[in-house]
Structure 1
Amino acid sequence: MPKYIEVALNLPLDKVFQYKLTGTEKYKPELGKRVFIDFRNRTMVGYIVELKDESNIPNVKPILNVIDEEPVFDSNMLKLAEWIKDYYVCSLGEALDAMIPSILKKGKTESKSRINEPLYNNNEIFRDKARVPNEEQNNVLLDIKNCIDRAAHEIFLLHGVTGSGKTEIYLQAMEHVLNKGKSGIILVPEISLTPQTVGCFVARFGEKVAVFHSKMLESVRFNEWKRIKRGEARVVVGPRSAVFSPFDNIGLIVIDEEHEPSYKQEDAPRYHARDVAIKRGEFYSAPVILGSATPSIESYHKAITSEYRLIELTQRATEKDLPPVKIVDMRMEFATRIGKEIISKVLEVAITKVIKQKEQALIFINRRGYATFLNCKKCGYVVKCKRCAVPMVFHINGEELLCHYCNYKINPPLTCPSCASDSVRYKGTGTEKVEKELIKLFPGVNIERMDSDTMSKRGSHEKILNDFKEHKIDIIVGTQMIAKGLDFPKVTLVGVVAADANLNLPDFRASERTFNLITQVAGRAGRGNRSGEVIVQTYTPEHYAINLSAKHDYHKFFDMELNARRELGFPPFSRLVKILIRARNEAMCENNSVLLTQKFQEHLKDVEIIGPAPAPVSKLRGYFRWNIIIKIKKTSVTSNKDIKIILENFKKNAGVIVTADVDPINM
């Protein structure tokens, strides 16, 4: 029996800590088990990552106890954590901690739920049989099933237009995996926003399906984790954290809507679930399917350069054409219809027709609130959050100005805080203003809003979508949550308000995000027997992201975007690492950013360093923020480990926080 163990802790310290075994532990120490240890006079949960017979460290502390009878992590999961540690510039303990439910992180082994809530929260689940695939679907399935049969690790990029039946491909491929006695993982961008996807898998596979999502109680999530661990559940549907489901016999991993930014974790470890899934598939010799109507530029580039295997669905499963898209130039609307510029005449007429024909509409605007800022016409002052360098958004329901970053609230001022004039005016448009405008234009029509303000209660997503399905609602106004995974046969109109809202953001992905959102939300129209129509309102109709989304032309968009990325040297032609420096003292933040940049310039070879410069949101929750962007060329010898060593040796001032984000989604 070993005499010592090495333990990883959930701390931003890239080292493991040695402890002595006493022989009186409750359970036998093994790799992957949790232990209680004393660390700097407090009891912490650690993870055993090595067993040792000897130690060269004096006065090694004894462990307090071994928590688990069986290991929480198998050897493949420990190997995956090592990869995450090295690639995403974090500690091994941070990587392991991200892989398990909150209850296990606290050192518990059991949890009882006081609320007996239904797991799937959908009273219309019924058992469903596989549909007969069309020719395109059948060819795709043959390729995937052949790979499953060979237990080969291949990465498929399934590029299928909206409504082409990608979900049916996932279902039939997963059925093939289950028939082989193996298990599978389906990742979706945000499970609480896509109950229809859950419904599809539960309808096909019943109690074999385990579900994770952010609105579930901790105890319910833990019970699902235990069902997977015991082998009772063999298919997991969930958001990014579901990639760590405790299977030991994975046969397939699917990442639906692989382009979605929500697959990137914003806190340490800042992993991307797509890339972790690919690595996990490699360890288990399992195929990985990346599915999207609008694949990320990086993924599609890997597919056409044969790093991934490209499979395509070019037609809707119903054999109907994609809906026609009409672009409305709001500059003309603004010039000719004073005071009516939120809903264009074209969109107003289209909604009237939909209501008359007893059909339904989705109206999309990717901004919450009523007005996006409050400013003074006389002196130009804009009311900003005192803790964040961002304008505060007016919410009419609470009659308050709200910071969307830190939730700081104030009552709207009646006079300008700067010049005391009464010339303060509300500017910009959000979901609340669009909803109010539609209620005014269409009295008596059932209109509901779907954004994070209205969807905060548990079960609220399912309720509004069930009401919409039963046609108790005629129009839903919503943010990007209505762009994902919704399939309602009576939706014949999709309206996009302020389509160019994100185009001018200081981010090289702004065009890609605009194209993706318009294409995805447009795909919600005309999915049933009735034809659909999409109306896109914009002030920049000539922009290629907008006019190519109107043509459903992903390939032309990809070519144009790839050329722009090539000229600028951005991914996929380089890798990016964003270094964020934060401090409550502005001068200290800037000084440390300059010093750290000098260290990178001295020690990193063949890289381009952009900055240091204030971050796009230069102050957040009371912290000043500066960015350094390291652009690593494909041929560069610099690695993430090199960056990690520099960060570990950098002598920063007390109160300064430095974090690294590898392959950042937000700049």
Structure 2
Amino acid sequence: MFASVIVSVSSNSVDRLFTYKIPDSLVDTIRVGHRVFIPFGNRDIQGFVIDITETTEFDISKVKEINRIMDGTPVLTKELIQLSKKIATYYIDRQISVIEAILPVALKAKTKTILKLSETAGSNATELFDELQKNNEIVVSNLDKNHLKSIIPFMKSGEFVEETIVAQHTKKKTNRAVRSLNTNRMPSERAVKQRELLEWIESEAEPVTLLSIKDAGYSVQVIDALEKRGLVERVDIVVDRDPYESRVFFEAERHTLNKEQQVAFNKIEYSMKQYKHETFLLHGVTGSGKTEVYLEAIESALEAGKDAIMLVPEIALTPQMVNRFKARFGDYVAVLHSALSHGEKYDEWRKIKEGRARISIGARSSIFAPFKNVGVIIIDEEHESTYKQGERPLYDARQVAKWRAEYFNCPLILGSATPSLESYARSEKGVFTRLELKHRAKAQPLPETTIVDMALSRQEGNISIVSDILREKIIDRIQKEEQIILLLNRRGYAHFLLCQDCGHVPMCPNCDISLTYHKSNGTLMCHYCAYETSVPNKCPECQSSSITFRGSGTEKVEEILRDMFNTEVVRMDIDTTRNKGKHETLLMHFEDENIPILLGTQMIAKGLDFPNVTLVGVLNADTTLNIPDFRANERTFQLLTQVAGRAGRGDKTGEVIFQTYNPDHYSILDAQMNRYKEFYMKEMEYRRIARYSPYFFHVLFIITSENLEHCVKASHDISKILLENISNQSIVIGPSPSPIERINNRFRFQILLKYRHEPTLKDILEQLDQRYYVAYKKSGVSLRIDVDPQFIM
């Protein structure tokens, strides 16, 4: 038998399958998806078994053997292996890079698989274990072929239990526990506590933790006495790291679907019962109860014996979503997102792989949850750009979800109040099935929205970031003990430092961008390369003391709000949520303590549901409007509509204030009136004329180098290759300097390719990728190929 193996070396030169002979002793053991140690050159490295065949076209005498396997069971399913190849081909990347993105970080670290003796082991298993064990465990990778073959029957019978030990902080978590030695002896009748405790321990199928014993009122001395008499022993038991172990989830009250929700669910359920892949666009206004439809769809999948994947765009949304899902489905829910530690994420992944969890909830990377029988995939807020990976592999979770749904013949549900133009256009053409929720679930009215012209406000003498109208509304809500959400999509204290005498603005030495002032640590900071420097007392150029801060970020506005309203403010941005668990802590503090104001960046704009929030204010509605990107209008409309939907979700009427210097822009006016279809028609006409998505597909080429001349030369070279190989129906824009021309001391040029149909495009992209992989080693010129980019900056 022979195995096709992909090696864990991130290099284009070895981005292919290598053939290895499977030793006779491993023929019945090795499966597709196993991690293995293989001889490669003059060293042993890790690889993944991609395929197994009975014969090979190579000279058998020259085919090397697999040394050993790393795990008792495969870490990849056949479906995930196929998926990794599809992603690598579509997004122009190496398959091994995709595989490493699919697996948790813990499996990329140094690991070892060990075997432990189970309590049900017989004499033969015990004898073999005693022969092979060291420190009461057997390390699988240390076994020779004969020993490995001999343990397989005991693994299948469950007498040997497999565990994966991960180096450093990703080791399995253990708790100290006590188990009975089953001697059939009991303490004397006078030792009442000892007898009670021993009877309890013997009645349990698993060892009882010391913590549970102490909580039940038994002292350490009682345990010591039983141990001294040889009746019990202390052991370590493996427990899952549960990020929600301190939380109690009460069973949620079931909501009856309203008419719109029921119609939507019936169509999804019919597709599920037909084992038919269908993509549904669930277009519902904010507060229309899309999550209830998700819950019903997932329950239907579970009842059919299948599993479910649920994606959310932001970590900030995860706590509230987890609360609802845990309350409904309990321990069936696994959570996967970047805020978990490596160990917690690894344990959640294991729960899924071992079948102990049936539902995964998380951000982008949780689309790779290792389920083997998916019944439904749901992407909430499907329009969000965060579903696109920002570093290689540059996959889009929405496209990956579509491929997985096709493989499992199950529905894919894309939910949003403001769908992407691409998704809505596909629903217009019947490629997606559109389901509409036009009313809020509890029949609450949508909030009334007022637009405030900040240019006019300044002319009237108010130079504050808070307009007179918004200030009055905030005072009113504070007096009523209602809550307010304020959005400012810019963090830090001030945008930049300015010398009023010579006009000098401190710039990042590594990037072509001004430094942002952060008052909390008293530094000027670059938000691209994280460069920091102290704030100068005098202008570095003219030595003038007339330096001032310009612009306002969330840090400064928090200070203004505290002074203006003499009240507590919860601020949520990257700076306040860096530490683990801070998202949930801040949101719980805002809700449980009824804090009057929640101020934040776009992470607070969607998905949050606070019944006492009756006022939403957007302090600068133009922030995303002024970005040099063809999706700027769409993102502005989406952000404003989403954040407006946070108001009036309970029994009280909501109100929204948009502060802007562009009061007549259609993105803002249509968001004010919640007119999605009208906005869609206007924006589609602009996209048609400008020949952008969804009328054209895009590939963005970013060329970077520390040498400007090399960067320019490579950019023109790539442009020439494209023009020589594509049809005249496609459009090449550039090369031109990127909007931010230098980041981290690397100059940046870009080229945008617009196309409708280019049969040989993948070949061209692969050739360019290979060419500049070699060029990077020689001259340091790097090429990044972004297929279906979300940003063109």
1:561 aligns with 2:683: yes
Aligned-partner Cα distance in 1 for 2:274–2:110? 40
385, 389, 400: which is aligned to 1:261?
Answer: 385
User: 1:488: which partner in 2?
Assistant: 610
Contact (CA 8 Å) 2:37, 2:66: kept in 1 or not? yes
351, 363, 385: which is aligned to 2:508?
Answer: 385
545, 552, 557: which is aligned to 1:422?
Answer: 545
Aligned-partner Cα distance in 2 for 1:510–1:38? 52
User: 2:93: which partner in 1?
Assistant: 90
**Structure 1 segment 438-453 matched on structure 2, within 5 A:** 438-443=561-566, 445-453=567-575
User: 1:399: which partner in 2?
Assistant: 522
Offset from partner CA, 1:498-543 (integer Å, 9 cap, x none): 1101212110011111111111111000000111110111111111
Aligned-partner Cα distance in 2 for 1:388–1:61? 49
Contact (CA 8 Å) 1:190, 1:262: kept in 2 or not? yes
Q: Measured at CA, do residues 25 and 454 of structure 1 come closer, stay the same or move farther in structure 2, by a change above 3 Å?
A: farther
Aligned-partner Cα distance in 2 for 1:623–1:43? 36
Contact (CA 8 Å) 2:609, 2:646: kept in 1 or not? yes
Contact (CA 8 Å) 1:32, 1:49: kept in 2 or not? yes
Q: CA deviation at 1:379?
A: 3.0
Aligned-partner Cα distance in 1 for 2:371–2:586? 34
Contact (CA 8 Å) 1:7, 1:19: kept in 2 or not? no
Which segment is superposed worse, 179-188 or 40-49?
A: 40-49
**Structure 1 segment 496-575 matched on structure 2, within 5 A:** 496-575=618-697
SS at match of 2:372: coil
TM-score, normalising length from structure 1? Answer: 0.95
1:210 aligns with 2:334: yes
User: Unmatched 5+ residue regions in structure 1?
Assistant: none
SS at match of 1:521: helix
One-letter amino acid of the structure 2 residue matched with residue 645 of structure 1 = Q
317, 331, 350: which is aligned to 2:455?
Answer: 331
**Structure 1 segment 318-397 matched on structure 2, within 5 A:** 318-338=442-462, 340-397=463-520
Q: Measured at CA, do residues 535 and 463 of structure 1 come closer, stay the same or move farther in structure 2, by a change above 3 Å?
A: same
Aligned-partner Cα distance in 2 for 1:10–1:156? 39
1:32 aligns with 2:33: yes
User: 1:478: which partner in 2?
Assistant: 600
User: 1:236: which partner in 2?
Assistant: 360
Aligned-partner Cα distance in 2 for 1:377–1:517? 35
User: 2:115: which partner in 1?
Assistant: none
Q: Measured at CA, do residues 644 and 517 of structure 1 come closer, stay the same or move farther in structure 2, by a change above 3 Å?
A: same
User: 1:13: which partner in 2?
Assistant: 12
148, 157, 165: which is aligned to 1:110?
Answer: 165
Offset from partner CA, 1:392-430 (integer Å, 9 cap, x none): 110111111011112111011222223333332211111
Aligned-partner Cα distance in 1 for 2:315–2:358? 18
Q: CA deviation at 1:480?
A: 0.8
Which segment is superposed worse, 207-216 or 102-111?
A: 102-111
Q: CA deviation at 1:62?
A: 4.6
User: 1:153: which partner in 2?
Assistant: 277
**Structure 1 segment 216-231 matched on structure 2, within 5 A:** 216-231=340-355
Q: Measured at CA, do residues 41 and 618 of structure 1 come closer, stay the same or move farther in structure 2, by a change above 3 Å?
A: farther
Aligned-partner Cα distance in 1 for 2:74–2:605? 40
User: 1:23: which partner in 2?
Assistant: 23
Q: CA deviation at 1:10?
A: 5.2
Which segment is superposed worse, 517-526 or 603-612?
A: 603-612
Q: Measured at CA, do residues 39 and 200 of structure 1 come closer, stay the same or move farther in structure 2, by a change above 3 Å?
A: same
Q: CA deviation at 1:602?
A: 1.4
Q: Measured at CA, do residues 497 and 43 of structure 1 come closer, stay the same or move farther in structure 2, by a change above 3 Å?
A: farther
User: 2:782: which partner in 1?
Assistant: 657
Q: CA deviation at 1:314?
A: 0.3
Q: CA deviation at 1:614?
A: 1.4
User: 2:119: which partner in 1?
Assistant: none
Contact (CA 8 Å) 1:190, 1:213: kept in 2 or not? no
TM-score, normalising length from structure 2? Answer: 0.81
Contact (CA 8 Å) 1:611, 1:629: kept in 2 or not? yes
CA RMSD of aligned residues (A): 2.0
User: 2:72: which partner in 1?
Assistant: 69
SS at match of 2:434: strand
Q: CA deviation at 1:122?
A: 6.8
Q: Measured at CA, do residues 331 and 177 of structure 1 come closer, stay the same or move farther in structure 2, by a change above 3 Å?
A: same
User: 1:79: which partner in 2?
Assistant: 82
Which segment is superposed worse, 613-622 or 363-372?
A: 613-622
Offset from partner CA, 1:604-623 (integer Å, 9 cap, x none): 22421111111122111221
User: 1:289: which partner in 2?
Assistant: 413
Aligned-partner Cα distance in 1 for 2:681–2:245? 43
Q: Measured at CA, do residues 380 and 95 of structure 1 come closer, stay the same or move farther in structure 2, by a change above 3 Å?
A: same
Aligned-partner Cα distance in 2 for 1:373–1:574? 38
SS at match of 1:542: coil
Q: CA deviation at 1:470?
A: 1.5
Q: Measured at CA, do residues 317 and 600 of structure 1 come closer, stay the same or move farther in structure 2, by a change above 3 Å?
A: same
Aligned-partner Cα distance in 2 for 1:598–1:247? 45
Q: CA deviation at 1:61?
A: 5.1
Q: CA deviation at 1:341?
A: 2.5
Q: Measured at CA, do residues 367 and 575 of structure 1 come closer, stay the same or move farther in structure 2, by a change above 3 Å?
A: same
User: Unmatched 5+ residue regions in structure 2?
Assistant: 112-163, 175-239
Which segment is superposed worse, 345-354 or 212-221?
A: 212-221
Percent of matched pairs sharing the same residue = 40
One-letter amino acid of the structure 2 residue matched with residue 110 of structure 1 = I
Aligned-partner Cα distance in 1 for 2:381–2:341? 26
Contact (CA 8 Å) 2:8, 2:96: kept in 1 or not? yes
Aligned-partner Cα distance in 1 for 2:653–2:246? 28
SS at match of 1:36: strand
Query: Greater relative contact order: 1 or 2 (C-alpha under 8 angstroms, separation 6 or more)?
Result: 1
Q: Measured at CA, do residues 104 and 55 of structure 1 come closer, stay the same or move farther in structure 2, by a change above 3 Å?
A: farther
User: 2:50: which partner in 1?
Assistant: 49
Q: CA deviation at 1:98?
A: 1.2
Q: CA deviation at 1:54?
A: 2.6
Q: CA deviation at 1:123?
A: 3.0
One-letter amino acid of the structure 2 residue matched with residue 226 of structure 1 = R
Q: CA deviation at 1:249?
A: 0.7
Q: Measured at CA, do residues 381 and 501 of structure 1 come closer, stay the same or move farther in structure 2, by a change above 3 Å?
A: same
1:576 aligns with 2:631: no
Aligned-partner Cα distance in 1 for 2:568–2:643? 21
Aligned-partner Cα distance in 1 for 2:434–2:9? 39
Aligned-partner Cα distance in 1 for 2:22–2:307? 39
User: 1:432: which partner in 2?
Assistant: 555
One-letter amino acid of the structure 1 residue matched with residue 20 of structure 2 = K
Contact (CA 8 Å) 2:726, 2:758: kept in 1 or not? no
One-letter amino acid of the structure 2 residue matched with residue 369 of structure 1 = G
Q: Tell me which protein shows more helix as a share of its residues.
A: 2
Q: Measured at CA, do residues 23 and 288 of structure 1 come closer, stay the same or move farther in structure 2, by a change above 3 Å?
A: same
Contact (CA 8 Å) 2:515, 2:524: kept in 1 or not? yes
Contact (CA 8 Å) 2:173, 2:241: kept in 1 or not? no
One-letter amino acid of the structure 2 residue matched with residue 381 of structure 1 = H
Q: CA deviation at 1:39?
A: 4.8
Q: CA deviation at 1:49?
A: 1.8
Aligned-partner Cα distance in 1 for 2:602–2:669? 20
Contact (CA 8 Å) 1:19, 1:62: kept in 2 or not? no
